[in-house]
Amino acid sequence: MAAPPSDATEIARRALPLLDLTNLADICTSSHIDALCRDARAGGVAAVCVWPQYVGEAARALKGTPVRVATVVNFPAGGEDVERAVEDAAEAIADGAQEIDLVLPYRALMRGDAATASGLAEAVRDVCRKTCLKVILETGVLGDPERIGQASRLAIAAGADFLKTSTGRSAVSATPEAAEAMLGAIREFGAGRRIGLKVSGGLRSVADAAAYLALADRVMGPDWAQPATFRLGASSLYGELTAALARVP
Active site residues: 101, 164, 198
CB 75 within 8 A of CB 101: yes
Q: Which string of b and e fits 103-137 if b means at least 16 CB within 10 Å? A: bbbbbbbbeeebebbbbbbebbbebbeebbbbbbb
Chain-centre distance for alpha carbon 13: 19
Backbone dihedral angles phi then psi of residue 131, each to the nearest 5 degrees: -125, 135
Which residues lie across from 47 on neighbouring strands? 20, 68
Are β-strands 19-23 and 162-164 bridged in parallel, bridged antiparallel, or unpaired? unpaired
Chain-centre distance for alpha carbon 243: 23
Distance, CA of 200 to CA of 191 (rounded, Å): 24
